[in-house]
Amino acid sequence: MLSAYLNCFKIPELKKRLLFTLGIIFLCRLTSIIPCPGVDPSALSELFKSMSANKGTGGVLDMLDLFSGGALENFAVGALGIMPYISASIILQLMTPVIPALNKMVREGESGHQKYNQITRYITILICVIQGTMFSLAMISPEKLNLGSGVSVILNPGPGFVVSTVIILTAGSMFICWLGEMITEYGVGNGASLIITINIVARLPGALMSLFTLVVGGAVTGGSEIHSVHLLILLAMFFLVTAGAIALTQGMRKIPVRYAQRVAGVGKTSAMQTSYLPLKVNYSGVMPIIFAGAILSFPMMLLRFAPDWAFFRWLIPNIQHGSNGYLLLYGLLILIFSFFWVANQFNPIQIADDLQKRGGYIPGIRPGAPTSDFLDHAMTRITLAGAIALTVLAILPMILSNAMGIPSIIAQFFGGTSLLIIVGVSLDTMRQVETFLINRRYDGFMSKGQIRARR
């Protein structure tokens, strides 16, 4: 495997892409440490400590801070991260099947995709303005939103701070989105997913330090301690969830496909060929988890501005992060988005038509509509199993955290969401790198065989 990493820098094109990706990642991390003007760092640190003690509020903010790579805790220019772009993509994908104009735009080819992406950016800007306004108001008056002790972290609060902060946060988020597009086009891997993964990994040292402090009996944010038995449970869960995430990401069902004999010349025929159509168990990857987390981040922020009515007083604790209502909504959204992603990306009718045009057929299934129905039925059952497994891996760490009283910054790494994203994105990036290596006649990352699904 070490030779494979060394071979990556022997291919000029791959070396250029890797160095470009590393440079973009450095710029992304830089946006998470440059604070917005007018913020008191010491007061901001105290505010986040008090918020972490509030489990409902701290859980949501810890998740947002995790996806931003600690930028929210520093109230940096990249505090919004790439999540507004993810949210805008969700909104457009939900609206595309309903609005004929958007559906037609997607089918227009390259020009239609450019218009579609432009609309996504406009919606991203709108979401950035809304979230930036909410964050800036929360920093000015945290006591009104039950976020802190009432001490403002802003040196000169007022409308000027709100306007300037919204502009800075919006510009920072759009800059990160542009960096993600540059990685996708000129680097290695999917830019948006890779940025989220790097931001998650950047929080790992802090989580390990908090875990070490808990094990030796010190006090950390949240004021809880764990014993050696709890540590063994966490380590066992880490390996189990990692193994489950890899199996879920790599798992697939191979549908046999045969191609009829063809006439290759006068008196010559080609032999019948047998191939496989891979149907991935987790076809949607980590996108349902990202979608569900992005959507559930909105209600709690909006409800903080809701009037003090009996209904809202009942609703907030029942859907706050870590509650039973939150776990139920989180699991349902993951299930729904898993099927929604497959419905948008997997087209059994087109696959059946392509097989028929190339003379291919599934043994025992007639070409045309029966093949399409068979693929749709098979993919539905596979997606159901994958969606259930994905949901279990995602919510199991929250249940364990509630049972053991572990701070969310630690539970996020010894649980499903973070590990699924890291494993899924890492495997996808390794496949792309391995493709360069194999095409240049170099060995892949594994001495015996290659990463599954490389073909």
**Nearest to residue 293, comparing CAs of 203, 148, 384, 196?**
196
Residue 35, pLDDT > 50, answer yes
Average pLDDT over residues 192-219: 79
- Please check whether residue 212 is in contact with residue 225, taking contact to mean a CB–CB distance below 8 angstroms: no
pLDDT of residue 129: 93
Q: Quote the mean pLDDT of the chain.
A: 79
Q: Write the DSSP string, 396-447.
A: HHHHHHHHHT--HHHHTTSSHHHHHHHHHHHHHHHHHHHHHHHHTT---S-S
d(CA 199, CA 17): 20
pLDDT at 223 over 70: no
What is each CA distance from 269 to 14, 265, 273, 363, in whole angstroms?
41, 7, 12, 21
CB-facing half-sphere around the CA of 62: CA atoms within 13 A: 29
**What is the pLDDT, as a whole number, of residue 449?**
46
Which H helix or E strand runs over 284?
Answer: none
pLDDT tens for residues 121-172?
Answer: 999 999 999 988 988 887 887 765 555 555 567 878 888 888 999 999 999 9
Task: Write down the pLDDT at residue 60.
Answer: 59
The alpha carbon of 263 is separated from its chain's Cα centroid by a whole number of angstroms, namely: 48
The percentage of residues in the chain with a pLDDT greater than 70, rounded to a whole number, is 80
Average pLDDT over residues 48-53: 64
pLDDT tens column, 54-100: 544 445 566 677 778 888 888 889 988 888 888 888 788 878 877 88
Q: How far apart are CA 284 and CA 209, in angstroms?
A: 33
Average pLDDT of span 3-28: 84
Residue 225 has pLDDT above 70, yes or no: no
Is the pLDDT reported for residue 455 higher than 50? no
Question: How large is the average pLDDT for residues 370-394?
Answer: 91
Helices 324-345 + 369-404 axis angle, to 10: 160
Please give the pLDDT value at position 174.
94
Q: Where are the domains of the chain?
A: 2-439
User: What pLDDT, in 10s, does the model give residues 311-362?
Assistant: 777 887 777 777 788 888 888 999 998 998 888 778 899 899 988 888 888 8
pLDDT at 182: 92
Question: What superfamily in CATH does domain 2-439 come from?
Answer: SecY subunit domain (1.10.3370.10)
175-198 pLDDT, tens per residue? Answer: 999 999 999 999 888 888 899 889
pTM to 2 decimal places: 0.77
* pLDDT > 80? residue 390: yes
Alpha-carbon distance of 25 to 28, in angstroms, equals 5
The two structure tokens encoding residue 299: 């209600």
